Structure 1
Amino acid sequence: MNLSALLTSAGINIGLCTLYLSLYSILRKQPSFLYVYFGRQLTQRNNNYLDAFNLERFVPSPSWIMKAWGLTEEEILSVGGLDAVVFLRIFVFSLRIFSIAAFVCVFGVLPINYFGQEMQHTRISAESLEVFTIANVKEGSRWLWVHCAALYVITCSACSLLYFEYKSISKMKLDYIIGSPPKPSHFTVLVRGIPKSIGEPLGDTIRNFFLHYHGSSYLGHQIICRRGKLQNFFSNVKMVYKKIFCFEVTALDNTCRSGLCRCGLCGGVSNSFRFYPDNFYERRTDLHCIDISSHQKECSSAFVFFKTRYAAIVASKVLQTSNPMLWVTDLAPEPNDVYWRNLWIPYRQLWVRRIATLLASIVFMFLFLIPVTFVQGLTQLEQMRHMLSFLKGIPNKAFVIQFVSGYLPSVILQLFLYTVPPTMMLFSTLEGPVSRSVRKKSALCKVLYFTIWNIFFVNVLSGSLITQLSLITRPKDIPAHLAKDVPRQATFFMTYVLALGWTSLSSEVLQSYSLLYHLTRKYIFRCKDDPSLVPSFPYHTEVPKVLLFGLLGFTCSILAPLILPFLLVYFFLGYLVYRNQILNVYSTSYDSGGRMWPIVHNTTVFSLVLTQIIALGVFGIKASQMASAFTIPLLIITLLFSEYCKKHFYPIFRDLSAQDFIDMDRDDEQCGRMPKIHEQLFTAYAWLAPPPPPPITGALELCYVDGEPDSPVQVTI
């Protein structure tokens, strides 16, 4: 690929970015799209907006950029929680380190790469991109020490910035725990693997066990039951309450539709609700008189409440019995973070589920080699034409070849990648996590491993499946292959940053899929705006994407410095876009307390180590013994730095401090807050009980949505 093909890809993506950002600045002003672009704010303010005509609404403006830029870290913390702050810190760190790398490599390394061979250069636009990489430097060149020095500058700067970021985020993590109001999860332990006694109720078994072994600190318990059909109905009452009473913008029609959604051409309306007059109360059914105990199935799990935080954390960490499969204890997640569907899974099944999902993830990863290999082949169009006859019909015009080899591969790969996050989220759900944050963290790790393997290693090794498997069996040959292939594939990574980076960010701020779904739902199916459809932030898709670009930046910094300016544009644009999305679009129902940062730190260290291994192989190929000798100590220093951070900061994210919990317990006891906290514990995890709604003059009929409606259940609101 030559520079003109790269510029063609850049021009297409710049045009798409400009179009998307202009459309966003117009559509965000339209009242009919408020739930797409201001969903989080509408769910909190409950405002009605008038559709008043104003010419300014149809003129693009950059006002959203200034609002996003002006947000302080305290405002982001109050809006999106510590997870949002940590996510944005990834962009801040990336901007700092790659600004240093761009300055050093573009002005120091790039000229040496370009003039590395004694050759007659043509005009810049016709130059092959390989002349800008380290592959153009001749063997035994005395200028390779510049690459080694640049590698030292980048590694030392990255480690220093990582240390200060880890230290700062660790302090925020401690402040998050200490400064937050009393959390039910700090007093609650989730117990699984409870043995069932013949002739003794499960509740008595739990009570007798904890009174015998934790009598001074045991407060009470709540048995976890698997839901029946009637429980499913009760669990929807809270959602109905939220839609009816908390959001004035959700209108209720005076007629009740049938179960199937109708399009606007068939008549019919979208709401499943109908108000009845006051005299309808005489015909209603009192659901509180129904015995729901016969509709539930007790699981071998329970929430156990303790009188103090310290007692709960001690009970969650110690082994309760000599049999590690019985009375298994962990700190309970927050009530909003509980993933109720997985609480019924027997504890003995979890290891089987984890092994099965691991094998399924590996199989899916290798099946994905087929589209990746084809996409990589498009960058070498002439070779692919000899192998695949249908590619011979592509015209030999310069623009067509530049489009097919420069822009099309990244687009095709991105389309295939859209299937990865939902698949990994499904695998993470089947593993059996009991909290939504753990499920999303598991999906994040799976997507990250998948992305690094299929986007980086498979494209770099760029051979058949047999060749890639042979490299796995001969790991000592991997550095040499990486040293040869990374500079060659750097051109593909540049176009990948343009297509997946720039364009995907502009598509993110435009909310293309949410916009299409909103238009279809509102104008085809005639449904009203639903405040409950506000999405949560997709950390499991966005964090791996950002970390992958960081990996590409580190590995290509001294090998192909031309990628660094494109990465800087991506990180700066992403910093603005995601600040805007956190403020306006995504809701925050739970907060893991920045649990993703150790993953970010470890991935960055992995990127640095991989960069040094590749550089070591390149210096060996280029016959520069001095550069190779100086790279080995740098590799050891990086590993020692990683171990130092793991010992000093990682325990803060993994464990809770007894000292802090004891101080918090004493403070609550001295201030007299502890009895109120104990009272709230017994209702915190009572997910079947909806909040008491305000009285209205009417009854609400819930119409069934599948099949012919039976006698509808009447609920007095």
Structure 2
Amino acid sequence: MILSALLTSVGINLGLCFLFFTLYSILRKQPSNLRVYAPRLVAERKLKQNTDFNLERLLPSAGWVKRAWQQSEEDLLEKSGLDGVVFMRLFTFSLKVFSVAAIIGVFILLPINFLGNQLLIDFSDLPNKSLDSFSISNVNNGSNRLWIHFCAAYVFTGAVCYLLYNENKVIALKRIAYFYASQPQFHHFTILVRGIPVQAGSSLSESIEQFFREYHPLTYLSHTVVRRTSKLQQLMDNAEKLYGAVDQLKSEERSSQRLGLFSNKDRHLRTLEKKLEVTEDNMRMEQSSLHEKEVPAAFVSFKSRYGAAIAIHIQQGVNPIEWVTEQAPEPDDVYWPFFSASYFRIWICKLVVYVASAVLTVLFLFFVLIVQGLTHLEQLESYLPFLKSILTIAFVSQVITGYLPSLILQLFLSFVPPIMKMLSSIQGYISMSAIQKSACNKVLWFTIWNIFFANVLSGTALTQVSVFFEPKKIPELLARGVPAQASFFISYVVTSGWTSLSSELFQLVTLIWNFLRRIFAKEEADDLIISSVPYESEIPRILFFVLLGITYFILAPLILPFLLVYFCMGYLIYRNQLLNVYAPKHETNGKFWPIVHNSTIFSLVLMHIIAIGIFGLKDLPLASSLIIPLPILTLLFNEYCRKRFLPIFQAYAAECLIKKDREEQNDPRMTEFLDKLIVAYQDPALKPSQYSRNTDSQTSPLLQSTEI
């Protein structure tokens, strides 16, 4: 890519960002758009709708930037939980890392690269020169200036490890402090037990009761057996739809009668009411047979957190595949469809997920190859000769090579997070937060492989498969491929980063939906659906940009200013979104942070491997050899951090659990909490029906018995 093509891409995306920011600052002030740009405040009744006309509404302003900036971390913790704080600290951590990188890269490495003469540069025609002139490729082979890049690699690695260690320490302390400050949580007192053996002459519930009263007599409280309720839940969903349709028809009929109009919807109404009655009867028949659909699994609750922790971390039975325990999720976080599947079916589903992920990865490679063709005009002209006359137009060629490839790749990539979340949902996880975390990992590594490695190796490794069986050649292969794609990834940061952040602020899809709802909806909906931050898509996107910045730090430091702009924009925009738009549905207490740590370590090691190959290609074998200890030291640092911090993110220490239990030992509110805990893990499908024909059935639960 030439410099003018990059400037064209930057200009287009700056224009889009400015447009989105301007429209947002105007549209957010309109009363009709409060459900789009401040749904959380509307739901919390902290924002009143003012219909009085004011000229200020039509003028753009940046007041939202000031409010987002002034929001403290304590406010963020209160509004969005620890996951929201960890998400925002990912931006601050990245800003710290790339501020250091920019100081070294832009002010030291970039001038050295540009002043090299390995590539011939005509300063009189600089706009039409390749961006390779700003990369390490322009430094003369064997030049002593390469030792500055060598030193920069060591300094930058040390700075990243120092910042990463401090961030691990801060977030670990915040996780413990958040635990101490929290009210009693149901999942801290509850475990999930699977593989429950049923004793002869006893029911499943009796077997659980007998086992835990015998081996946990002082701490055992109650249990709730899990049942297969997928069919019942489907019937309830159908009843909910029919009930809504009947209610709407009755409302329309009453309106027609008030206006003296004749309604011919009586027959349709009676048909829907009959279907609702049949569905309710089927619901009752299904609930009466639920005792035959028990799953050998149960949520077992204890009187203390420490009692639940002991049951989790100590093998319960002699047979290790029986009485298998794990931490229960929050009641609202339980993914109930998981319990409707047998172990064999879950095993098959996991196999299907692995195969589907591999197939998706291979299929996506074809799109990557097509996109790569757009970055090289000569290839595009050879494949599509009829475009040759159009491609001679300077602006068209600059748009195609500088803007279009990243845009196409981003459009295809937007479909990946929902697919990965769907695949994770059938993999056997027992909570929606675990599904989201699994999808986050899948999307991250999918992005790294399909966007980074596939682009880098598309012209070499895909035609030289044997290289993967010769590890010694991998550094050289990466050293040849990575610098060649620097211009593409700079454009990708601008297109996928800047524009996607501004579109996140603008909320175009939600804005259009709100506009259509106001036009076609008969009545204002009472319920307001507030979404949560899509961590499974946003965290991998941010971490991929971190990988690009670390990888290209010594290769093409021109990318660093664009990344700094991205992280600054993301910091302000997502603080605004967490304040006004998103509300947490589930809380993992910061468990997304180990993903950040692992990805950062991977990025550093990848940078080191590429540096080994680069110094080898640049005829500086001594520097290539002296870089080898750097990835080893980084992996040793990683191992220390895993021993020091990872256990804190996996489970709370006995010291924390016992201290918290003792603080609440004499709290009179604990009695009420334990009473609620007994029924907290009841399947939502077993709760009272809301669509019954009479008052008694409206208040009666579908299943009367609860195991205690």
The 3-state SS of whatever aligns with 2:665 is helix
Alpha-carbon offset, residue 353 of structure 1 = 2.5
The 3-state SS of whatever aligns with 1:586 is coil
Residues 250-649 of structure 1: pairs in structure 2 closer than 5 A: 255-256=251-252, 293-296=287-290, 297-389=293-385, 391-392=387-388, 394-463=390-459, 466-467=462-463, 469-524=465-520, 526=522, 528-529=524-525, 531-649=527-645
Alignment equivalent of 2:163, drawn from 146, 161, 164: 161
The 3-state SS of whatever aligns with 2:485 is helix
Comparing 544-553 with 314-323, greater Cα deviation is found at 314-323
In 1, Cα distance between equivalents of 2:89 and 2:181 = 21
Counterpart of 2:705?
A: none
Q: Give aligned pairs, total.
A: 676
Residues 77-96 of structure 1: pairs in structure 2 closer than 5 A: 77-96=77-96
In 2, Cα distance between equivalents of 1:690 and 1:349 = 24
The 3-state SS of whatever aligns with 2:184 is coil
| Structure 2 CA distance for partners of 1:712 and 1:126, relative to 1, 3 Å | farther
Alpha-carbon offset, residue 45 of structure 1 = 2.1
Alpha-carbon offset, residue 195 of structure 1 = 3.0
| Structure 2 CA distance for partners of 1:712 and 1:5, relative to 1, 3 Å | farther
The 3-state SS of whatever aligns with 2:316 is coil
In 2, are the aligned partners of 1:701 and 1:712 still within 8 Å (CA)? no
Comparing 58-67 with 661-670, greater Cα deviation is found at 661-670
Alpha-carbon offset, residue 711 of structure 1 = 11
Q: Which AA in structure 2 matches 1:41?
A: L
The 3-state SS of whatever aligns with 1:558 is coil
The 3-state SS of whatever aligns with 1:533 is coil
In 1, are the aligned partners of 2:222 and 2:301 still within 8 Å (CA)? yes
Q: Deviations over 1:481-530 (max 9, x none)?
A: 11112111000000000000000000000112222232333324556346
Counterpart of 1:180?
A: 182
In 1, are the aligned partners of 2:239 and 2:691 still within 8 Å (CA)? no
Alpha-carbon offset, residue 578 of structure 1 = 0.5
Residues 88-107 of structure 1: pairs in structure 2 closer than 5 A: 88-107=88-107
| Structure 2 CA distance for partners of 1:518 and 1:712, relative to 1, 3 Å | farther
Q: Which AA in structure 1 matches 2:366?
A: I
Alpha-carbon offset, residue 256 of structure 1 = 4.6
In 1, Cα distance between equivalents of 2:249 and 2:285 = 33
| Structure 2 CA distance for partners of 1:614 and 1:286, relative to 1, 3 Å | closer
Counterpart of 1:65?
A: 65
The 3-state SS of whatever aligns with 1:223 is strand
In 1, Cα distance between equivalents of 2:559 and 2:253 = 56
| Structure 2 CA distance for partners of 1:229 and 1:459, relative to 1, 3 Å | closer
Q: Deviations over 1:198-228 (max 9, x none)?
A: 6532211211222222233221111122226
In 2, are the aligned partners of 1:238 and 1:690 still within 8 Å (CA)? no
Alpha-carbon offset, residue 128 of structure 1 = 1.5
In 1, are the aligned partners of 2:193 and 2:300 still within 8 Å (CA)? yes
Alignment equivalent of 1:147, drawn from 146, 149, 161: 149
The 3-state SS of whatever aligns with 1:314 is helix
In 2, Cα distance between equivalents of 1:2 and 1:268 = 69
In 2, are the aligned partners of 1:184 and 1:681 still within 8 Å (CA)? yes
Counterpart of 2:45?
A: 45
Higher helix share: 2
Comparing 338-347 with 3-12, greater Cα deviation is found at 338-347
Alignment equivalent of 1:682, drawn from 670, 678, 691: 678
Alpha-carbon offset, residue 557 of structure 1 = 1.1
Counterpart of 2:6?
A: 6
In 2, Cα distance between equivalents of 1:82 and 1:716 = 37
Q: Deviations over 1:442-495 (max 9, x none)?
A: 000000000000111011112278426444344332211111121110000000
Alpha-carbon offset, residue 686 of structure 1 = 3.0
Q: How many percent identity over aligned positions?
A: 48
In 1, Cα distance between equivalents of 2:446 and 2:684 = 38
**Is there any run of 5+ residues in structure 2 with no aligned partner, and where?**
255-262, 270-276, 701-708
The 3-state SS of whatever aligns with 1:670 is coil
The 3-state SS of whatever aligns with 1:224 is strand
Aligned-residue CA RMSD in angstroms? 3.3
In 2, Cα distance between equivalents of 1:89 and 1:690 = 40
2:210 paired with 1:208 = yes
In 2, Cα distance between equivalents of 1:542 and 1:584 = 18
Alpha-carbon offset, residue 388 of structure 1 = 4.0
2:654 paired with 1:652 = no
Residues 217-232 of structure 1: pairs in structure 2 closer than 5 A: 217-227=219-229
In 1, are the aligned partners of 2:121 and 2:129 still within 8 Å (CA)? no
| Structure 2 CA distance for partners of 1:689 and 1:669, relative to 1, 3 Å | farther
Q: Which AA in structure 2 matches 1:569?
A: V
Q: Which AA in structure 1 matches 2:636?
A: L
In 2, Cα distance between equivalents of 1:236 and 1:52 = 42
In 2, are the aligned partners of 1:595 and 1:653 still within 8 Å (CA)? yes
In 2, Cα distance between equivalents of 1:640 and 1:562 = 30
Counterpart of 1:280?
A: none
Q: Which AA in structure 2 matches 1:462?
A: S
In 1, Cα distance between equivalents of 2:185 and 2:240 = 21
Counterpart of 2:132?
A: 130
Comparing 160-169 with 668-677, greater Cα deviation is found at 668-677
The 3-state SS of whatever aligns with 1:255 is helix
In 2, are the aligned partners of 1:228 and 1:295 still within 8 Å (CA)? no
| Structure 2 CA distance for partners of 1:433 and 1:701, relative to 1, 3 Å | closer
The 3-state SS of whatever aligns with 2:403 is helix
Q: Which AA in structure 1 matches 2:62?
A: P
Q: Deviations over 1:42-80 (max 9, x none)?
A: 222276524332221111111111000000000000011
| Structure 2 CA distance for partners of 1:290 and 1:139, relative to 1, 3 Å | closer
Q: Which AA in structure 1 matches 2:91?
A: F
| Structure 2 CA distance for partners of 1:230 and 1:129, relative to 1, 3 Å | closer
The 3-state SS of whatever aligns with 1:671 is coil
In 1, are the aligned partners of 2:110 and 2:558 still within 8 Å (CA)? yes
Comparing 672-681 with 65-74, greater Cα deviation is found at 672-681
In 2, are the aligned partners of 1:230 and 1:295 still within 8 Å (CA)? no
In 2, are the aligned partners of 1:237 and 1:690 still within 8 Å (CA)? no
Alpha-carbon offset, residue 292 of structure 1 = 7.0
In 2, Cα distance between equivalents of 1:637 and 1:661 = 35
In 1, Cα distance between equivalents of 2:650 and 2:253 = 51
